[in-house]
Structures are given as C-alpha cells and as structure tokens.
Amino acid sequence: MTMPSPVVLVTGCSIGGAGSAICKAFEARGCTVYATSRKLETMQGLASESIRLLQMDVANDEHIVEEQGRIDILVNNAGTVAAGALIDNSMGHVKNVFDINTFSVVRLAKAVWRIVNIGSVVGDTPTPFNGLYAASKAALHSISDVLSMELRPFNIDVILVTPGGFTQPEDSLYKRYLPNILRRLNASQTMGPWSAEEFAEDVVSKSLMKRPPAHVMNGKSWQVFYVFKWLPRTWSLYLFQRMYLSKPEA
C-alpha cells in the first residue's frame, strides 16, 4: 500500500524569500504544500499542482484539515524584521512584531505530526539595534522548547531552526549611531549567508528525517553565534556592545 505524501503548511511564503524556497524544496520531495501569506499577490508565480496558495489567517489550518484530513508538517516561517533602537519602537509596532513572530506559532500549534519553528541566532544572543526582533525570537525559542516537551508524549516532533536589515525615526536618540546601525544590518548579509535555496534544503531534509534533531543551527555564520552562546553572558553582550556601539566619529 502506497503511503500518502506528507501535507505541509508553510507560513510566510512571499516570492524570493525562504518560505517560497522551502515550499519548492518540499514539492521536489513529493509533498503536498500549502503556502500562506498575508497577501496572495506576494506569492504570485509560486502555485503549482502540488503547491496551493492561501491567504493567511488563524482559521486556514482548520480549512486544510477539512480538505486533507490532516496536516503532517507545520513550518512556522512567517516573521517580520524589527531593526533599530528598541526604545524607538511604538507599542503598536512591538505588539505587531510579537503577534507575527511569536503568537502566531501558538495559534497554529495543533496536533500535527511535526512542527518546524524558524527562530534566529539572535534569539539566543541579542545584538544592539535588533532588540525587538531578538526578543520576539527568544520568546519563540522558549515556546518551541516547551512545545517539544509537552508534545513528546504524543509523538509530535518540534524542531527549532536558528539560522546565522530599517528606517530610524528622525527624532531618534540613536541618530548619531546610524552608521553603526547600518553596519549591524549589513552584517547578516556580509558574513557568508546561505542562499534561500541552501537554507530551504537543510530545513526540509531535517524536517523529513525519521528522528529529527530538536535544534538546528545553520547558515555560514552560525558558528560565531554558537561560540557567543556559550561565553559568559556578560562577555558576549560586552563584545557586541563594543562592536556596534563604539563612539561614532564626529
């Protein structure tokens, strides 16, 4: 008897990003994929016989269960960047970032076969001018670890992937640090980042393993953050402060 192909739900699938690459990698392995985004037009060109597009809302996962009878793999990839000085963010923006990067994971955590949460290395080791994003990912990491423990008795695997970007308000107290902030934003793009396709292949291969690892670090700069993760907390924070908050030139 032929086993049915896995049914996969991937959030945050705008064309050109990691989500769309993950969808294509699952498709290449024979999976039925539901790609979601807040706006259908951002996924234009992604649809195929095996990839179906859905506008994202909290009820869509129930619609898929009704149609397919199950969701085998949930990939929580949807996220929003929140770079800049932490105190420059309005509370409305803070709530929006956590709603997208953190709370949506809780909403979608149903009884599925496997959950894959896309975190970030800064969720373990925060850096200046990335505080809001780092905080939302740190919360996601904790949620992922708790889900892993709570769902293990039901044989549901939870995988946390931590892979190794912004306009400042005119009245920002950190305006004179703008060159340092821009340097922080460019760091993730200049430290040998993987392509979206390389990242997707690694995520999908781990997701389809019979016994997947609970934690996955990837990207060509993940080793740097791995070292910082195990340094005394005060050391790593001091080093990042010196790196990105050195006194700017007059």
Residues 5-49: tens digit of each pLDDT = 899 999 999 888 889 999 999 999 999 999 999 889 999 999 999
Residue 104 bridge partners (DSSP): none
E strand residue ranges, 15-80: 32-37, 51-55, 73-76
Task: Check whether 125 has a pLDDT greater than 50.
Answer: yes
pTM (whole model) above 0.75: yes
Other C-beta atoms closer than 10 Å to the C-beta of 65 total 16
Compute the distance between CA of residue 64 and CA of residue 70 in angstroms, rounded to an integer. Answer: 7
Computed over every residue of the chain, the mean pLDDT equals: 79
H or E, element range at 218: strand 215-218
Mean per-residue pLDDT for 86-96?
Answer: 88
- Candidate list 133, 174, 226, 244, residue with the active-site label: 133
* Exposure letters 237-250 (e unless 16+ CB within 10 A, then b): beebeeebeeeeee
Q: What is the band of 140 on the pLDDT scale with cuts at 50, 70, 90?
A: very high
Is residue 31 a contact partner of residue 8, using CB atoms and an 8 Å limit? yes
3-state DSSP assignment of residue 122: helix
- Known catalytic membership, residue 133: yes
Residues 6 or more apart whose CB falls under 8 angstroms from that of 106 comprise 143
pLDDT tens readout for residues 46-70: 999 999 998 875 434 555 556 666 7
Residue 170: the pLDDT is 40
From residue 96, give the alpha-carbon distance in Å to each of 79, 138, 166, 190, 230: 10, 16, 16, 28, 31
> What is 7-244's CATH topology?
Rossmann fold (3.40.50)
Q: Considering only CA atoms, which of 68, 76, 96 is closest in space to residue 11? A: 76
Sign of CA dihedral 59, 62, 67, 68: positive
H or E, element range at 118: strand 114-118
Other C-beta atoms closer than 10 Å to the C-beta of 91 total 7
